Structure 1
Amino acid sequence: MKIIATRRKSFFALIALMISFSVLFLPTNNALAATTYKMTTTADANIRTSDSTKGKIIGLYKKGTTITYTAKTKNNWYKTTYKGKTGYVSGKCLTTYKAPVATTQSFTSLNNEAKKHIGKRYKIGATGPSCFDCSGYTQYVFSKGIKKSIPRTAKQQYASAKKIKASELKNGDLIFFNYGRGIAHVGIYVGNGKMLNAQNNGVKYDTIKSGYWKKYIAGYGRVTNLK
């Protein structure tokens, strides 16, 4: 029994010794463990070779840049990698990173914005918000309603949109018209065979199932998949 106890004591003593040596030879480099992995610059920030203003400048992060770091030093510098080199940025130039808020692209949001402008007058070349031409209206509504950027003219919007069939048409898609000289008008499909558009009588609902507008339809386009 004494022999077993002695062996146990020797074993635990050996483990303790190994732990002591591992701690002794751990890299210190004056750095603390990082609590997060991203920060954003609040001003133009120099990247230096060491964690002080005495370090050589090897680069610059512009204000608003999101940087990734691996450690924070005791004197409030953040260790990062810049063009394959190790660098440090002062914590005085950084703030907590905030992920961008995702915007929901829904037809409801688009339609709510589109309806706000019903009755506003038509004016060639106008892009809102007091008056519009046809493509100025669609561009404005997509930008303000769902933060979606689309080109300025009806012709450009048609060229950039994904072409779809009439049977595929859904709320929020664009309807394009040709009076004989190419794409010249555009409206937003809102369901039940109707569109909202800016035309000579201002921003209003029009039917596309019959009458004047139906005979000039040139095609349909989708610029984003709305929920």
Structure 2
Amino acid sequence: MPFPRSRRSMHAVLVLVSAACIAALLPAAAAGAAVRPVGHLEGASQAANRTITIGGWAYDQGRPASWAGLDVYVDAKLAGQPTANRPRPDVNRAFKINGNHGFTWTFAWRTRAKVLKVYVRPLARGEVRSLIATRYLNGYRPPTVAPPGTRIITEARKYLGLHNPGYVHGGTSPVTGFDCSGYTSYLYRVTNVANLVAYTETQRRTVKLILASQARPGDLVFYMSGGTSYHVAIYAGNGMQYAAATEQDGIVYQHVWSSAVQYGTTWH
């Protein structure tokens, strides 16, 4: 039977495990990477009286013995700038540094908070602050964002059959009307997928060209002649597309009507 460890040796093991856990919170720095502030938010909550309490640790790797300043935002508004200046011997052991690097801060807030963000400010001029935490409070969950292709197709359908104005050469919006590249450029921009210049061939040269078998709904279909594209549409899947077609037809849902096409994407 092995001898039981003494209390002192057990305490040393626990300290080593705790230090290892703290150190594991940080990613390994790449060779030659810029030294940035680091930290960890260990807790954040809002009480019934709407005061918010946060706690954790932070330090600037460039000046590890100095106190680090924080920027705390609640729902995109600056709530305050506390300092990480409380003793945290466990952090010092984990990272082999000196100084005080813990923080606990309670502050009043007027409303039920949703999103809290904590940044660590660098001590050296010209360095960039580090976001160390984003927390959702009071059961808040951020809205789910649909995939790029879904957003593009949903927006494309809104203008199906659009006339007066419908197809307008050089048009780039529902107000002015669309031409083919103005339509695709508008859809990609308002869905926050990509900023595309409203010229067909420029779009083709901007995107990643893919095989027809790789095309997904929301991708672009370029109609080719002599190595240059002269028309562009939104691929809708199953050999179909949305396009600003002609002055007579306006915005249409139709078959991909040529085999001389290329497909392009910006998001997969």
TM-score grouping bracket, smaller chain normalisation: 0.5 to 0.7
Equivalent pair of 1:134/1:199 in contact (CA under 8 Å)? yes
Equivalent pair of 1:197/1:205 in contact (CA under 8 Å)? yes
Matched, 1:143 2:189: yes
Secondary structure of residue in 1 paired with 2:252: strand
The structure carrying a bigger helix percent of its residues is 1
TM-score (norm 2): 0.46
Matched, 1:123 2:168: yes
Deviations 1:145-196 (A, max 9, x none): 2342122211011001111112222211111013558311000111121000
Work out the CA distance in 1 between the residues paired with 2:215 and 2:231: 17
TM-score (norm 1): 0.53
* Structure 2: gaps of 5 or more residues: 1-65, 79-118, 128-133, 136-142
The count of residues paired between Structure 1 and Structure 2 equals: 145
AA aligned to 2:167 is Y
AA aligned to 1:127 is T
**Candidates 233, 242, 256, aligned match of 1:187:** 233
Secondary structure of residue in 2 paired with 1:124: coil
AA aligned to 1:222 is T
- How far the C-alpha of 1:41 sits from its partner, in A, is 10
**Candidates 142, 156, 161, aligned match of 2:207:** 161
- Give identity over the alignment, percent: 29
Which residue of 1 is the match for residue 151 of structure 2?
109
Work out the CA distance in 2 between the residues paired with 1:223 and 1:148: 7
**1:41-60 aligned within 5 A:** none
Work out the CA distance in 1 between the residues paired with 2:254 and 2:196: 22
Equivalent pair of 1:188/1:195 in contact (CA under 8 Å)? yes
Work out the CA distance in 1 between the residues paired with 2:250 and 2:125: 55
Secondary structure of residue in 1 paired with 2:184: helix
Which residue of 2 is the match for residue 203 of structure 1?
251
Work out the CA distance in 2 between the residues paired with 1:38 and 1:152: 41
AA aligned to 2:242 is L
Deviations 1:31-52 (A, max 9, x none): 9764x3577999xxxxxxxxxx
Work out the CA distance in 2 between the residues paired with 1:186 and 1:170: 15
Work out the CA distance in 1 between the residues paired with 2:77 and 2:121: 12
Matched, 1:214 2:262: no
Work out the CA distance in 2 between the residues paired with 1:83 and 1:176: 45
Which residue of 2 is the match for residue 5 of structure 1?
none
- How far the C-alpha of 1:108 sits from its partner, in A, is 1.8
* Structure 1: gaps of 5 or more residues: 1-30, 43-66, 71-79, 85-96
Which residue of 2 is the match for residue 81 of structure 1?
124
- How far the C-alpha of 1:118 sits from its partner, in A, is 1.1
Work out the CA distance in 2 between the residues paired with 1:150 and 1:103: 21
Work out the CA distance in 2 between the residues paired with 1:138 and 1:69: 41
Work out the CA distance in 1 between the residues paired with 2:182 and 2:191: 14
Q: Which has the larger radius of gyration?
A: 1
Secondary structure of residue in 2 paired with 1:221: strand
- How far the C-alpha of 1:218 sits from its partner, in A, is 3.0
Equivalent pair of 2:148/2:193 in contact (CA under 8 Å)? no
Secondary structure of residue in 2 paired with 1:219: strand
CA RMSD, Structure 1 to Structure 2 (Å): 3.5
Work out the CA distance in 2 between the residues paired with 1:158 and 1:32: 52
Equivalent pair of 2:68/2:120 in contact (CA under 8 Å)? no
Work out the CA distance in 1 between the residues paired with 2:148 and 2:77: 33
